[in-house]
Amino acid sequence: MARIGVFVCHCGENISATVDCGKVAETIGKLKHVAYSTDYKYMCSDPGQTIIKDAIKEHNLTGVVVSACSPRMHEPTFRKACAEGGLNPFLCEMANLREHCSWVHEKNDLTTEKAIDIVRSQVEKVKLNSALQPIKVPVTRTALVIGGGIAGIQSALDIANCGHKVVMVERSPSIGGHMSQLSETFPTLDCSQCILTPRMVEVAQHPNITLYTYAEIESVEGFIGNFKVKIRKKAKSLDEKICTGCGLCTTKCPQKKIPNEFEQGMGMRPAIYIPFPQAVPNRPVIDREHCTYYIKGKCKVCEIVCPTKAIRFDQPDEILELEIGAIVVSTGFDIKHADFFPEYGYGKYKDIIDGLQFERLASASGPTTGAILRPSDGQVPKNIVFIACAGSRDPAKGIAYCSKICCMYTAKHAMLYKHKVHEGKAHVFYMDIRSGGKNYDEFVRRAIEEDHVNYIRGRVSTIYERDGKLIVKGVDTLLGAQPVEIVADMVVLATAGIASSGAEELAQKLHVSYDSHKFFAEAHPKLKPVETNTAGIFLAGACQNPKDIPDTVSQASGAAVKVAALFSQSELTREPLVAAVNRSGPPMYSTCVGCFLCQSVCPYQAIEREDFKTRDGKIIKTVAKINEGLCQGCGTCVALCRSKSIDLQGYSNNQVYAEVVALLNEY
Amino acid sequence: MKFGIYPGCSLTGSARDYNESVFALAEAFGLEFTQVPDWNCCGATAAHNLNKELSLALPARILALAEKNGLEEIIVPCAACYSRLVVTRHELKKDPELKNRISEVIEMDYRGTSKILNVIEWIDKYITPKLDEKLVKPFNYKVACYYGCLLVRPNKVLGYDRAEDPQTMDIVMRKIGAETIDYPSKTECCGAGLSISRTDIVSKLSGKIIEDAEHRGADAIIVACPMCHSNLDMRRPDINKYWKTDFKIPVLFVTQAIGLAIGLSPEKVGLKRHFVEVKIS
Amino acid sequence: MNNLIARAKELLENKIVQVIVGYEAGPTGVARPAFITNPAKADLLIYDERCVQNLAVYLTKPEVRNLGKMAIVATLPVMRSIMMLISEQQIFADNIIVLGVSSDGSLLDIADIKVMQAYIEKSDLGNPVKDRALLVELNKLSKEERFAYWQKELSKCIKCYACRQACPLCYCTRCTVEVNQPQWIPVQSNTHGNMEWHILRAMHLAGRCISCGECGRACPVGIPCHLLTMQLADEVHNYFKVYAGTSEKMSSVLSTFEPNDKESFII
Amino acid sequence: MSDFEPKVVAFVCNWCTYAGADLTGTSRIKYASNVKIIRFPCTGRIDFMLLLKAFANGADGIIVSGCHPNDCHYTSGNFHAKRRWIMFKELMDFMGVDMNRITFSWVSAAEGAKWADVVNTTVTRLREMGPYVSYRDLVNKSVEEEVKNE
């Protein structure tokens, strides 16, 4: 027999000015099953809460309706008060008399009547509430970091330094990512390698970090705290334990004409290679696609020269299965290349390069050891044009977003050029200069004022070659849209940052949503920028959208904290407002008929299959089962289920039905 | 298969050379045309500046006539006519209500079933496959392929070739033995219809196109549009006067070049009608 | 038909299947479902214009299932039902052999699901012609006239649930009408309750109905209740450009979405 | 009829429209008191049968409202709801149930003013339409039918 207590709050005069609170309490008090009904000036105050706690004990209440403000405001407050009064907190409901009644209506009888209706519907609802216990989910305290760029490195180190195990997976042969390709970094112009390589080494040596390079994610199953991840370790074709990384094989490999990925195609590498001298791990891999042995069946020069006999041509890929508690996705970004731009010659002009290629040219470890030389003939360009927003902010090219980093690195490029080629002329075409960030605008001003970089506000319509020079045709919108023509030796396009290749496939494996540009989607653009909509999977860095290094590192640390917080307890506690598929004894087991249409509506992949079997293992029936760890309680499956076999705690069919009836009928 | 041809005004007037070369090619390859009966003006550049419905009704009538006469494909050698016909088909396809209105205006049922081919599409489909066997006199010249504006733009509507640095004509020319140069002026404006009213502007713009071709060592400019041809060829004296130059580079229709390569006589493909002399070695 | 009998015999004799689900002539000459397990009895099978029932309804019935692997005489609606049942994981493609029959009664060679899919895809998937005409007529009426029409029709309903039993896709072991916590549908047969039942049924078949019309045929009091689900089948095609039962991988219209689904009534 | 006040039930999601209605309150924007709100976690949770139940229990009109497309707290509940309402609306139209009695809307947590507007427009429209006699008659008649049968 239900014994409901109703507590009507005046909220000072916020409610009582238009609603006759006394009358509400009195009318509701006459309802069947209402054991106690009262009104009070400030229900949320300490004495107010005491009234509730005392009444729970005194009247042996089985449910409480606090008729006050919005539950979005004070539901946690009153649920806590009920718990302190000895009542299960989920047996407390709120009737919203302030935001939805007293504040939006005039003072009259109708308003008070509406208030009574609202309270009554909550009384009817709370009668059907069940005492719920928070859900406990065990947590495996090992994190997986996907991608070994600066974002992944930062996250992995932060998590590992909190004392948790980390597995890092990187698909290329070395960690380091794009940052390892950069020459110098804005706005301080410190050498990228100098600040990055110590961290790469730290990752390799950290006792809590297991590093798998040349490896990819095969599949991900499970849920927060309990992921089961399969990793494919691609065959490096050598025994890493024996290999000393002497590099002799890489110098003797007869195949030397493979475009070097690390040098953005501006240099060549052999088929057995270490991507760059500071690579971590500093061990070569054989690129089977280009290796003569794998193509023609003979060669094996590397095997012959290897002093430790570490080459293993028949090494297979290896699949590892790991138990993981949380995942940080830090797969980074790619950039569009010059061939994306019809108006700039579809990539046919050698001296039109992209920003990353310029980084390699400017890098002391690059193909020109830091000299700015144009690719076509190795001459020092006397006149260089930088084009910002190449592809970005251009809906016609399908990329409406700002790539964020280009304004800054273009200023840096122009500056680096001027520092190296003093007599040279640098021009920058830009749409707007977006230099928000600590010391960023000062940096751009320095390029313009101290290094005399010629900034032209306008777009470049076309570039073509004539007599070995690049004719850059653009417009200067600050000079009344005057056409500008620059005869350049080299052009650098600050091309749009795009999602890393394979991002879509990975997102699908992780069941994480992504936007139309294949960037991973955050759970909330402002308040949950690090979380994804799949609990336990977090984002770091440019896999979410193009970001500079400081932003990437900050977010990576943010993601690490989320993981550390999750790992701070051995069990995870969740609100029990989740869906459940009913169960009964044999032979029914459940009224669920196993059509699994609910599976496709669930945004969280929370619906699993459960088989009921005979003793000899024959399947009698397969029905749906909600994974409480994943369910977020939206209830879309509940409304879809034809046989009404799924119900949602806190918003059960019975409860909402009772609410509708109670709102419309006086008793 | 019954082909239609829509000659438009220029092929029967100022671009008879073009017309002759198209028919000469067709004859050489055993292809027959039926002229769209009772055809009218495509509206060209004038109509769509004045009245949108008129600019759609004129080409729609041509297309409806083609459909009515069972012409599944019509070749439209003039790039301007081609553009108007394709744009009309596009506009009427996306707006059924407009289509009905236009059908009422032209008092004919327009369905949009006839396929519209520009001259290069036609060559690609019917000439190229048999070109090798007929090639007797490879066109051993360095050529600048000039596409002009209407053959490839608006790219979203035409969906033909690349908007910047188109390639289809280059590919055809290479097939008959020509060397095509990297030519950034391919789609620059020739001045088009300003030919009559502002010859000075045409002289300036077309002059740049010619200069670029000569500068890059081309022996000839190849075109597929009668307007481009008349501006680059007929206006040559004005151009040379404007720029104080003496450009001598000839301008050939792509059909003329192919005709020569398969051994047709210069007269047969209308070369004698040009203003700038075409010297054949 | 002889082909059908021969094929049925062969399947039973070679123990490829244990039961053939088809039609036979009843004592009064009316076609009725036949469940043939003995090859000698395969001669009883008929297929002609009398055979209109959607036999797919038996595929999910435990009594039939327990007989073992089956072959089923399948017209287009049956094939589409089979697709739906596979996509909703009620039956498995490996457990069933489809003895397809074309509209002129000849035996089709349906080797596997892919062949069946190809056959379905090239068929007319709209509602049956006579029902199309009825729908057009009803849609011409005013809202009030339609309300009155359905009230009149539905007042006849005796809640026997034959419409549900006859439908191959109403395979739930517990129907919403049997839920009494809360009592979604009034137990009694009265116009209001009948109407809610038919709304519920139509909504549960939205995007799933394959337009066989079996529900309407089964109704003992002649309510054209199939028009409700057929109207929705039309709307499903209007809005989402799909027909139900065309692929084994099909996901139901109401359990999927496209972000740019168009509607004009949400403000 | 002139002093007829329709009973309106609003089925709203917790994250957008419920919060939006909270904002209407905090902004002290006044609207008709005819409407009473039922909170759901998501529009995806709203069972079409509940709408019928509201009519059967005497509602003259209904508002169904949730997050704008792409704004769903659960990413896709509102998209599923949208499809459900498309089907429901077409079925109701076909059966002659007056869909002018149901307002479907997207009201975000920031659209306090829009919520007031949605309510007021709906209530004004329903005042003109009068009580939903035809549906209620159906229920009443059904009760009579039963009495007769018994």
What is the separation of C-alpha A354 from the centre of its chain, rounded to a whole number of angstroms? 27
Tell me, yes or no, whether A403 and A467 share the same domain. Answer: yes
Q: Is residue A154 part of a domain?
A: yes
User: Is A465 within 8 Å of B182 when comparing Cβ atoms?
Assistant: yes
Q: Is residue A399 part of a domain?
A: yes
- Average of pLDDT values for A265-280? 94
- State the DSSP string of A27-80: HHHTSTTEEEEEEES-TTSHHHHHHHHHHHHHTT-SEEEEEES-HHHHHHHHHH
Helical H segments across A174-277, by residue range: 192-205, 248-252
Q: Is residue D1 part of a domain?
A: no
Min Cα distance D41 → chain C (Å) is 18
CB C169 within 8 A of CB C209: yes
Using N-to-C axis directions, what is the helix angle for A71-84 and A46-58, rounded to 10°? 50
For the stretch B40-88, pLDDT in tens is 999 887 788 888 889 999 999 999 999 999 899 999 999 999 999 999 9
Q: How far apart are CA B232 and CA C211, in angstroms?
A: 66
CATH of the domain at A602: 3.30.70.3270
Q: Which of D22, D44, D58 is the closest to A639 by Cβ? A: D44
Tell me, yes or no, whether A127 and A11 share the same domain. Answer: yes
Tell me, yes or no, whether A263 and A389 share the same domain. Answer: no
Q: For chain C, which residues score pLDDT lower than 50? A: none
Per-residue pLDDT band at A604 (split at 50, 70, 90): confident
Check contact B-C (3+ Cβ pairs < 8 Å): no
Tell me, yes or no, whether A261 and A380 share the same domain. Answer: no
Q: Is residue A642 part of a domain?
A: yes
Q: Is residue D105 part of a domain?
A: yes
Tell me, yes or no, whether A504 and A589 share the same domain. Answer: no
> Which domain covers residue D47, as residue numbers?
8-149
What is the separation of C-alpha A123 from the centre of its chain, rounded to a whole number of angstroms? 42
Q: How far apart are CA D20 and CA D115, in angstroms?
A: 7
- Average of pLDDT values for A383-388? 97
Tell me, yes or no, whether A152 and A102 share the same domain. Answer: no
Q: How far apart are CA C139 and CA A171, in angstroms?
A: 60
Q: Which of A600, A643, A653 is the closest to C172 by Cβ? A: A643
SS3 content of chain C, % helix, strand, coil (to 5): 45, 10, 45
Q: What's the pLDDT at D147?
A: 65
CATH of the domain at D40: 3.40.50
For the stretch B82-136, pLDDT in tens is 999 999 999 999 888 899 999 999 999 898 889 999 999 999 999 999 999 999 9
In chain A, % of residues over pLDDT 90: 88
Contacts of A597 in chain C (CB under 8 A): 88, 251-252, 254-255
Tell me, yes or no, whether C190 and C236 share the same domain. Answer: yes
Task: Count interface pairs A-C at CB distance under 8 A.
Answer: 52
Interface residue C253 vs chain D (CB under 8 A): yes
Q: What's the pLDDT at A508?
A: 84
- State the DSSP string of A390-401: ESTTBGGGTB-S
Decide which of C121, C143, C166 is a domain's last residue.
C121
> Which domain covers residue C148, as residue numbers?
129-255
Q: Which of A99, A110, A604 is the closest to D25 by Cβ? A: A99
- The residues, any chain, with a CB within 8 Å of residue A408's CB and separated by 6 or more, are A186, A187, A435, A437, A440, A443, A444, A548
Tell me, yes or no, whether A621 and A493 share the same domain. Answer: no
- The residues, any chain, with a CB within 8 Å of residue A319's CB and separated by 6 or more, are A218, A230, A231, A232, A233
pLDDT of D150 over the 60 cut? no
| pTM of the predicted model as reported, rounded to 2 decimal places | 0.70
CB A18 within 8 A of CB A115: no
Total tally of structural domains belonging to chain A: 5
Tell me, yes or no, whether C99 and C27 share the same domain. Answer: yes
Is the omega angle on the peptide bond into residue B226 within 30 degrees of 0, that is, cis? Answer: no
- The residues, any chain, with a CB within 8 Å of residue C111's CB and separated by 6 or more, are none
User: Of the candidates A94, A73, A98, which has an alpha carbon nearest to the alpha carbon of residue A18?
Assistant: A98
Backbone angles phi, psi at A152, to 5 degrees: -65, -40
For the stretch A55-106, pLDDT in tens is 999 999 999 999 999 998 899 999 999 999 999 999 999 999 999 999 999 9
Contacts of B208 in chain A (CB under 8 A): none
User: Is D96 within 8 Å of C139 when comparing Cβ atoms?
Assistant: no
Contacts of D29 in chain A (CB under 8 A): 104
Min Cα distance D8 → chain C (Å) is 17
Tell me, yes or no, whether C199 and C156 share the same domain. Answer: yes
pLDDT of A214 over the 60 cut? yes
Quote the ipTM score: 0.66
Tell me, yes or no, whether C72 and C139 share the same domain. Answer: no
DSSP state of A661: H
User: Is D87 within 8 Å of C203 when comparing Cβ atoms?
Assistant: yes
Mean of the per-residue pLDDT values for chain A? 94
Total tally of structural domains belonging to chain C: 2
Which residue from A minimizes the CA distance to B162? A342
Q: Which of B164, B212, B216 is the closest to A342 by Cβ? A: B164
User: Of the candidates A199, A170, A427, A132, which has an alpha carbon nearest to the alpha carbon of residue A285?
Assistant: A170
CB B85 within 8 A of CB B42: yes
Q: Is residue C264 part of a domain?
A: no
Mean of the per-residue pLDDT values for chain B? 92
Interface residue A342 vs chain B (CB under 8 A): yes
For the stretch C87-132, pLDDT in tens is 999 999 888 999 999 888 888 888 889 999 999 999 999 999 999 9
In chain B, % of residues over pLDDT 70: 99
User: Of the candidates A651, D43, A222, which has an alpha carbon nearest to the alpha carbon of residue C257?
Assistant: D43
Q: What's the pLDDT at D94?
A: 95
Q: What's the pLDDT at A587?
A: 85
CB B147 within 8 A of CB B169: yes
- Average of pLDDT values for A506-517? 85
Q: Is residue D2 part of a domain?
A: no
Contacts of A658 in chain C (CB under 8 A): 182
Q: Is residue C176 part of a domain?
A: yes
* Residue that is written with structure tokens 């949730």 in the block: D66
User: Is D38 within 8 Å of A660 when comparing Cβ atoms?
Assistant: yes
Q: Tell me which of A643, A648, A657 to substitute to probe the interface with C (most C C-beta atoms closer than 10 Å).
A: A643
User: Is D82 within 8 Å of C266 when comparing Cβ atoms?
Assistant: yes
Tell me, yes or no, whether A505 and A489 share the same domain. Answer: no
Tell me, yes or no, whether A386 and A477 share the same domain. Answer: yes
Backbone angles phi, psi at D23, to 5 degrees: -65, -35
Using N-to-C axis directions, what is the helix angle for B168-175 and B254-261, rounded to 10°? 20
- In Å, what is the CA distance from D45 to each residue of A132, A662, C252? 20, 19, 18
In chain A, % of residues over pLDDT 70: 100
Question: Regarding beta strands A490-495 and A352-354, do their DSSP bridges make them parallel or antiparallel, or are they unpaired?
Answer: parallel
Per-residue pLDDT band at A605 (split at 50, 70, 90): confident
Check contact D-B (3+ Cβ pairs < 8 Å): no
Tell me, yes or no, whether A126 and A166 share the same domain. Answer: no
What is the separation of C-alpha C43 from the centre of its chain, rounded to a whole number of angstroms? 26
Tell me, yes or no, whether A550 and A435 share the same domain. Answer: no
Tell me, yes or no, whether C251 and C135 share the same domain. Answer: yes
User: Is C174 within 8 Å of A658 when comparing Cβ atoms?
Assistant: no
Q: Which of B165, B212, B216 is the closest to A346 by Cβ? A: B165
Which residue from D minimizes the CA distance to C264? D86
For the stretch A516-542, pLDDT in tens is 899 998 877 778 899 987 889 999 999
CB C120 within 8 A of CB D69: no
Total tally of structural domains belonging to chain D: 1
User: Of the candidates A492, A552, A196, A549, which has an alpha carbon nearest to the alpha carbon of residue A362?
Assistant: A492
Is the omega angle on the peptide bond into residue B154 within 30 degrees of 0, that is, cis? Answer: yes
Show the tokens assigned to D117: 């507007």
Q: Which of A167-181, A401-415, A561-575 has the lowest mean pLDDT?
A: A561-575
pLDDT of D1 over the 60 cut? no
Query: What domains can be seen in chain B, in order of their start residue?
Result: 3-117 (1.20.1050.140), 130-273 (3.40.50.11810)
CATH of the domain at A376: 3.50.50.60
Q: Is residue A78 part of a domain?
A: yes
Angle (CA) A512-A515-A521 rounded to 5° is 45
Q: What's the pLDDT at A526?
A: 79
> Which domain covers residue A623, as residue numbers?
579-649
Backbone angles phi, psi at A550, to 5 degrees: -55, -45
* Residue that is written with structure tokens 């509708």 in the block: A660
Q: How far apart are CA D142 and CA D150, in angstroms?
A: 12
Tell me, yes or no, whether A199 and A275 share the same domain. Answer: no
Using N-to-C axis directions, what is the helix angle for B52-68 and B96-106, rounded to 10°? 70
Backbone angles phi, psi at B162, to 5 degrees: -90, 145
CB C8 within 8 A of CB C20: yes
Interface residue C108 vs chain D (CB under 8 A): no
